[in-house]
């Protein structure tokens, strides 16, 4: 029998509306109300004085690149990056090589997860065969294989009729549909937000409307079918308004924002640094403020990282030809605390809720709580510690981060999965 006693922490558990000073008790990988006198004597103790103890963070949007793109990331390295960032549960996108559009690929991923992952990793399956947007993937087979959602992330389904059929099938199988909202006819050759900065830099602009049109399409389809559609990495102020009005009508729409979209704007691209190139692109200050207000009033449901590793040779190219995407797992907590808590006066329990209970509930995962009997997944962090982020020495296989070399505030000190310490603040413990 193994016991763990976390002492003197500020315990925040949004699921139980708990925010107080106290202890957390763990026995045999589960939370328990208390430990017996004998168990306390043999328990491993962690003095968490000055630290926040919360459920392990949950991220429903990561790219671990395996199978087929392990020069960028693997399930092993991606899960280590997650642990270093305080995440204990993550959901992988299916745009691997080959794409995850069949039960065989899903089984392969699950086998690798069992062998290599240090946190809990769940796969998603494709909406369409080959992610080509032409024919539906076998959604029932994918559900039986173990996917927790379906998505063509990175390749938005352009056919409205095909998307309708997809969400109807997904509703039958009680699977959320996660959609990357992009009208591709409006973004051919586009590499950054359309506006003053794109004109100044001489780069092809990407209009808000390319996102807004698909967001509106998905709202209509959700209301038409009753299916749950989750809108990934929202970036446009107009989209926030559409979602807000849809929720007022009780549409089954949920949405996420990323740390980089609430922290940065297209002004950051002035030096053509490809570590600021992403999809959807960084937009204006007005868009950024709208995302923050959407998180404040519940229009946007969760924070998700869209962790998207690319190796240095891929990113070190002309801006037009470099791939979209940045790392996110190891910096997400610090960046989110800075923007939402310190700059915008969000209460800390609300921010923890955006990164724990809410994303777990959205994808129907058994995570995001410190309740007795639940799996003992914990993140311990110091909200006030400053540190310099070195992406090149991080746990990810890649280093494409706009925060490389920056000083951040808020640092993960311990990550616990199923009652076992997997990150001790300095290194992964395997």
Q: What is the pLDDT of residues 283-338, one digit of tens each?
A: 999 999 999 999 999 999 999 999 999 999 999 999 999 999 999 999 999 999 99
Q: Is the pTM of this model over 0.95?
A: yes
What's the mean per-residue pLDDT of the chain?
97
Give the pair of three-digit tokens for residue 62. 């990561």
Q: Are 207 and 186 in contact (CB under 8 A)?
A: yes
Q: How far is CA 2 from the centre of its chain?
A: 31
Counting residues of the chain whose pLDDT is more than 90, the rounded percentage is 99
Query: Which pLDDT score, from 0 to 100, does residue 430 have?
Result: 81
> Active-site residue 320, yes or no?
no
Q: Report pLDDT digits (tens) over 102-148.
A: 999 999 999 999 999 999 999 999 999 999 999 999 999 999 999 99
> DSSP letters of 185-196?
GG-TT--EESSH
- The residue-averaged pLDDT of 407-415 equals 98
Q: Which CATH number fits domain 3-52+375-423: 3.30.565.10, 3.40.190.10, 2.30.40.10, 1.20.1340.10?
A: 2.30.40.10
Give which of 408, 404, 407, 401 is closest to 276, Cα–Cα: 401
Per domain, the residue ranges of the chain are 3-52+375-423, 57-362
Q: What is the DSSP letter of 317?
A: S
Q: Report pLDDT digits (tens) over 14-66.
A: 999 999 999 999 999 999 999 999 999 999 999 999 999 999 999 999 999 99
pLDDT of 1 > 60? The answer is: no
Q: Are 407 and 420 in contact (CB under 8 A)?
A: no
Our CA dihedral for 189, 191, 197, 200, rounded to 10 degrees, sits at -50
pLDDT of 426 > 90? The answer is: yes
Query: Which pLDDT score, from 0 to 100, does residue 46 have?
Result: 98
Counting residues of the chain whose pLDDT is more than 70, the rounded percentage is 100
- The residue-averaged pLDDT of 136-162 equals 97
Q: Among 116, 212, 287, 306, which one carries the catalytic annotation?
A: 306
Q: Which CATH number fits domain 57-362: 3.40.50.1110, 2.40.30.30, 2.10.109.10, 3.20.20.140?
A: 3.20.20.140
Q: Report pLDDT digits (tens) over 227-273.
A: 999 999 999 999 999 999 999 999 999 999 999 999 999 999 999 99
CA angle 295, 403, 406 (to 5 degrees): 115
Query: Which pLDDT score, from 0 to 100, does residue 24 have?
Result: 98
């Amino acid at each position: 029998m193994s016991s763990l006693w976390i002492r003197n922490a500020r315990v925040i558990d949004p699921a139980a509306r708990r925010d107080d000073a106290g202890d957390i008790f763990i026995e045999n990988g589960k939370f328990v109300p208390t430990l017996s006198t004998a168990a306390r004597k043999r328990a491993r103790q962690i003095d968490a004085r000055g630290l926040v103890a919360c459920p392990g963070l949950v991220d429903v949007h990561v790219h671990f690149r395996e199978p087929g793109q392990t020069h960028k990331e693997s399930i092993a390295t991606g899960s280590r990056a997650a642990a270093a960032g305080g995440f204990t549960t993550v959901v992988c996108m299916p745009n691997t090589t080959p794409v995850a559009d069949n039960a065989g690929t899903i089984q392969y991923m699950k086998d690798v997860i069992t062998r290599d992952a240090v946190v809990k990793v769940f796969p998603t399956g494709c909406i369409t065969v080959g992610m080509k947007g032409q024919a539906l993937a076998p959604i029932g087979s994918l559900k039986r294989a173990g996917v927790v959602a379906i998505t063509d992330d990175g390749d938005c389904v352009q056919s409205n009729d095909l998307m309708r059929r997809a969400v109807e099938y997904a509703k039958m199988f009680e699977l959320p549909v996660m959609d990357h909202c992009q009208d591709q006819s409006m973004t051919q050759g586009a590499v950054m937000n359309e506006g003053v900065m794109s004109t100044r830099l001489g780069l092809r602009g990407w209009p808000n409307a390319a996102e807004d049109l698909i967001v509106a399409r998905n709202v209509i389809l959700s209301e038409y079918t009753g299916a749950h559609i989750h809108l990934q990495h929202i970036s446009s102020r107009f989209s926030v308004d559409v979602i807000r009005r849809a929720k007022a009508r009780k549409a089954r729409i949920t949405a996420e924002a990323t740390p980089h979209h609430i922290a940065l704007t297209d002004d950051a691209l002035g030096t053509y640094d490809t570590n600021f190139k992403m999809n959807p692109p960084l937009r204006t200050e007005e868009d950024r403020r709208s995302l923050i207000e959407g998180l404040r009033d519940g229009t946007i449901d969760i924070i998700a990282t869209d962790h998207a590793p690319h190796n240095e040779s891929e990113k070190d190219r002309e801006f037009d030809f470099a791939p979209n995407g940045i790392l996110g797992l190891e910096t997400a907590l610090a960046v989110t605390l800075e923007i939402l808590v310190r700059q915008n006066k969000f209460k800390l329990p609300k921010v923890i809720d955006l990164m724990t209970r809410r994303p777990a509930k959205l994808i129907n995962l058994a995570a995001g709580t410190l309740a007795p009997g639940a799996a003992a997944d914990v993140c311990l962090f110091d909200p006030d510690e400053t540190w310099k982020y070195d992406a090149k020495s991080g746990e990810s296989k890649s280093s494409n981060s706009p925060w490389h070399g920056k000083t951040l505030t808020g640092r993960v000190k311990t990550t616990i999965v199923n009652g076992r310490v997997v990150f001790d603040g300095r290194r992964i413990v395997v």
